[in-house]
Amino acid sequence: MAQERVGVPRSSTPGIVSPAIPGRMASLLLSVLYQFDQTQWLTAEELFAHQARQLRLLFSHAARTVPFYGRRFAEAGVDPEAEVTRSTLERLPILRRADLQAAGEAITTTTLPRSHGKMHQIETAGSTGPALRLSGTEVTKVLWRACVIREHLWHGRDLGGRLAAIRWTRQGVAMPPEGAHGDSWGPASGAVYPTGPAALLNVISELPDQAAWLTKEAPDYLISLPSNLMALAGHCIARGIRLPQLKQVMSVGEPVNDQTRRLVREAWGVPLKDSYNSEEAGYLAIQCPLHDVHHIQCENVFVEVVDEEGRACGPGEVGRVVVTPLHNFATPLVRYDLGDYAEVGAPCACGRGLPVLTRILGRRRNRLRLPGGAAVFPDFGDHRAYQAIANAVQRLRFVQRSIDEIECLMTVSAPLVPEQEEQLRALVLRNLGHPFRVTFTSLDEMPPGPRGKSEVFMSEVAG
């Protein structure tokens, strides 16, 4: 942690402030962070050796105490007690969401070691099929929180600053004009450091309400979903709304693209820092402190990126993200296909051995189907180009209804005239480079997806 700006931890021992003698959770987090500080500089092979030792313990536990895995290891002909190598992993089948749904209770351990603490439920909000019911433990909670703090340290954040979050929350909660307020950044940073205050606004709030709330809150840091940041930054640029206090924008929950980074910088003159996590596996990757790529969080999870045949992708290749959380002994997930696609990167110039993802691209349904049979992650271009044609355009979403038809859903502050629709259509076609039939539908409100996520593009074409 030496090179990052960091405050003095909160001491929980009366009469002692420096060095702090922290309480139990803070001590656990600091001890894990101390190790993270060293492991990040190991080579990729050294990191894999650490993971392999942990995987061996996980596999042994899973095969002994989780009925589903007892069968699965036997069927794959893999000895769960043996040393773990890359070829062991390749022999284990990839686990899909449907497998977990079908297995029901059989994916949960019958015997959680006492040292892993209490189990807690993790609800995963699936957009297809019923939610998965997985469990985490105190150990997975510590790893999650340590990664949260690692992200703050990597990006040199002043934890004494004001944090504003515009995120998904329950209906009717944290609504404008006030939102909701707390006196700490949350259970991760707040457990270790005396942080500044935090404020929360529901992501379903209208853009003018969000901008007014941010102006009033004057945060040092803003966290939100990329789709919301793109629309909000566009809104602020068009109206000259600056947030002079703001130092950084953080994004999470959806793929972030270069346009969003550019818009954020143009709107408020600050960089965007992204992280990639999932309910099932915790922190998967955090943006490098120096470059716009993500470092896989090898200390928390074993991540593979594989092609359609299950082979490991190399630098520059796009494949499916398959994860094995290293410490979840309650509901072990072994080679679980998260449903996301990502692009593998070459080792990072910053010197960290943590492997690189250059882009996180979204899910299978976010791929555009082309009549020739190909599937690509489409680029619909800069949000502002749409607003330049029609200033009334607020939020945009594109849905591929059939192999040759795209519907553009939009919220608008005033109806569009036919000439504007024509120009918008031409822009969509230029961006996609294919003569789709493009239709427009104006909505009063863009319906939010699960947990407030808003997919800029979704295809309804199977394949």
Distance of closest approach, residue 347 Cβ to Zn ion, in angstroms:
9
Helix, strand, coil percentages in the chain from 3-state DSSP, rounded to 5: 35, 25, 45
Q: State the Cα–Cα distance between residues 308 and 270, nearest whole angstrom.
A: 38
Judged by CB under 5 A, the number of residues near Zn ion is 4
Residue from 28, 348, 408, 428 touching Zn ion (CB under 5 A): that is: 348
Residue from 94, 212, 350, 399 touching Zn ion (CB under 5 A): that is: 350
Q: Is 89 in the site for Zn ion (CB under 5 A)?
A: no
Q: Which two tokens stand for residue 49?
A: 């050796």
Specify the pairing of strand 393-402 against strand 405-412.
antiparallel
Residue type, 14: P
Phi, psi of 94 (to 5 degrees): -75, 135
Task: Please identify, using beta-carbon distances, which residue of 155 and 383 lies nearer to Zn ion.
Answer: 155
Rounded to the nearest angstrom, the gap between the alpha carbon of residue 124 and the centroid of all alpha carbons in its chain is 14
Task: Please identify, using beta-carbon distances, which residue of 320 and 352 lies nearer to Zn ion.
Answer: 352
Write the binding mask 205 to 244 for Zn ion: x where contact by CB under 5 A, - elsewhere: ----------------------------------------
Distance of closest approach, residue 146 Cβ to Zn ion, in angstroms:
19
Distance of closest approach, residue 238 Cβ to Zn ion, in angstroms:
34
Closest CA to 163 of 201, 208, 106, 206: 201
Do 327 and 300 meet the contact criterion of CB atoms below 8 Å apart? yes
Task: Please identify, using beta-carbon distances, which residue of 40 and 400 lies nearer to Zn ion.
Answer: 40
Q: Look-up: residue for tokens 């893999």?
A: 78
Task: Return the residues of window 266-305 that contact Zn ion according to CB under 5 A.
Answer: 288
Distance of closest approach, residue 348 Cβ to Zn ion, in angstroms:
3
Distance of closest approach, residue 290 Cβ to Zn ion, in angstroms:
6
Distance of closest approach, residue 38 Cβ to Zn ion, in angstroms:
16
Write the binding mask 386 to 425 for Zn ion: x where contact by CB under 5 A, - elsewhere: ----------------------------------------
Neighbours of 337 (CB within 10 A): 20
Phi, psi of 459 (to 5 degrees): -105, 135
Q: State the Cα–Cα distance between residues 61 and 332, nearest whole angstrom.
A: 9
For residue 220, what are the CA distances in angstroms to 157, 215, 343?
9, 11, 31
Stretch of residues binding Zn ion (CB under 5 A), selected from 67-75, 344-352, 380-388, 447-455: 344-352
Q: In the complex, which residues of this chain contact Zn ion (CB under 5 A)?
A: 288, 348, 350, 352
